[in-house]
Chains A and B, each alone.
Chain A
Amino acid sequence: KAGVTQTPRYLIKTRGQQVTLSCSPISGHRSVSWYQQTPGQGLQFLFEYFSETQRNKGNFPGRFSGRQFSNSRSEMNVSTLELGDSALYLCASSLWQGQETQYFGPGTRLLVL
């Protein structure tokens, strides 16, 4: 079974631009969560989608948004990029919500100049 895939793997943007990251979960998984990892903060929860609905959202500004499609693939969008958005963005999929093992993708490393 193929694992979680994320595209692109690396991205360089400038301040003020927007970016869209993509995540394809493991086949059959319906829950997709997004995380931001920065050296000082560790892994921070962004949001979770289940059956195309956002179920949980972390403490991030409205510039961070996402969506999930009917095939469970998910996208995350960051508008008006700031230098502090430079981070590794990980997505994770699980079969269902709650008490489930999450399988992480390789991440997208975003650098904002």
Chain B
Amino acid sequence: ILNVEQSPQSLHVQEGDSTNFTCSFPSSNFYALHWYRWETAKSPEALFVMTLNGDEKKKGRISATLNTKEGYSYLYIKGSQPEDSATYLCAFETTTISNFGNEKLTFGTGTRLTIIP
């Protein structure tokens, strides 16, 4: 069973502040690391798919970095806004394919972010 951990579990941030959180994943059999934003009563929304060590991706005020050698990724949000309130999920995609009993995507339990106006 693959272990994907996210920290912190929850976070309250003042509007306008910047914040970041962590996703830790196995450093072997790495294929991709996915980040999603999941707002209440909506579908998870893809933010990034990261595949190369050292990758940095950016989408507006949100950016992410990837370190596959040590098995972690950071998600950064600059100048938090109320609409950033959501649960942020990361998911580890393994190279092990077509093996029954193996997860294709293993999700962390998420970081629940609340922006305080």
**Which residues of the other chain, B, contact A106 by a CB distance below 8 angstroms?**
42-43
- Please state if B51 and A99 are interface contacts (CB–CB under 8 Å): yes
Given A98-B93, A101-B46, A104-B44, also A59-B31 (CB < 8 A):
no
Q: Hey, what's the 0/1 contact readout for B37-55 against A, CB within 8 Å counting as 1?
A: 0000011111001010000
Contacting A at CB under 8 A, from B44-75, are 44-46, 49, 51
Interface size on A, residues (CB 8 A): 27
Chain A residue with the shortest CB-CB distance to B94: A56
* In-complex Cβ contact of A43 among B1, B51, B89, B93 (8 A): B89
A57 contacts B32, C-beta separation under 8 Å: no
Q: Residue B3 at the A interface, CB < 8 A?
A: no
| Range for the number of chain B residues in contact with chain A | 20 to 34
Q: List residues of chain B with CB within 8 A of the CB of A57.
A: 100-101
C-alpha gap A56/B32 in the complex (Å)? 16
- Could you tell me the distance between the alpha carbons of A98 and B49 in the complex, rounded to whole angstroms? 10
Q: Which residue of B lies closest to A92 (CB)?
A: B44
Output the least CB separation between A8 and chain B (Å). Answer: 16
Identify the closest chain B residue to A101 (Cβ): B46
Residues of chain A lying within 8 A (CB to CB) of residue B32: 98-99
Min CB distance B42 to A, Å, is: 8
Q: Nearest B residue to A6 by beta-carbon distance?
A: B43
**B-binding residues in A (CB < 8 A):** 3-4, 33, 35, 42-45, 48, 55-59, 90, 92, 97-107
Please give the residue numbers on chain B whose beta carbons come within 8 Å of chain A beta carbons, in ascending order. Answer: 1, 31-32, 34, 36, 42-46, 49, 51, 89, 91, 93, 97-110
